[in-house]
Amino acid sequence: MRDRQTEGGRDTATAPGSAVLTGTILGVVVLMCVHLDWAPFVRNPTGPDQLVALVVGGIVLGVSLLVWAIKSLYLLGRENRWSWKVAAAPVVVLAGLVAGLVLQPVTGVSLTTGAGRGAWSAVEL
C-alpha cells in the first residue's frame, strides 16, 4: 500500500491523474472514429461493429468522467484546492465535441473528370 499524505489525521485528496485523462482521450477517439465511419482495425465497419465501438467508447468515457467528477468535487469542495489537472478532461471532451461538429463523415463521394468538360466534378457512387 502507498503511504498517503495526511493533513490533520485525514487523507488528502488528489487531482484526477493520467489514468482519467487517458480514459477520456480513448473514449473520445473511439466515439470520433464511429462518428467519422472510420475504423483502424476493421476494413468496412458494419452496423453491429459501430454499435459495439459506440458502447465501448461510451462506457470508457462515462467511467472516466465519473471518476473525474468524484475526484474533482472532492478536491475542490472538501479540500478547497485547485489543480490544472482538473481542467484536462473537460478540455479533451470539448475538443472532441468541436471536432465532431467540424468534421463530417465521408458520404461516398468520389472525384472524377466530367465527360468532355475537362474539369473535376463530384459524382455519387
Residues 58 and 31: beta-carbon distance below 8 Å: yes
Cell of 7: 493533513
pLDDT of residue 76: 87
pTM: 0.72
Residues in the chain: 125
Could you please report the per-residue DSSP string of 77-122?
IIS----GGGGHHHHHHHHHHHHHHH-----SEEEEE-TTT-SEEE
Helical pair 88-102 and 47-73, crossing angle rounded to 10 deg: 150
pLDDT over 80 at 116, yes or no: no
> Average of pLDDT values for 11-19?
82
The span from the CA of 89 to the CA of 63, in Å, is 12
| The three-state (H, E, C) secondary structure of 41-67, written as one string | CCCCCCHHHHHHHHHHHHHHHHHHHHH
Q: pLDDT class for 60, splitting at 50, 70, 90? A: very high
Residue indicated by cell numbers 484536462: 88
C-alpha cell at 20: 482519467
Averaged pLDDT, 24-35: 93
User: What pLDDT score does 4 carry?
Assistant: 52
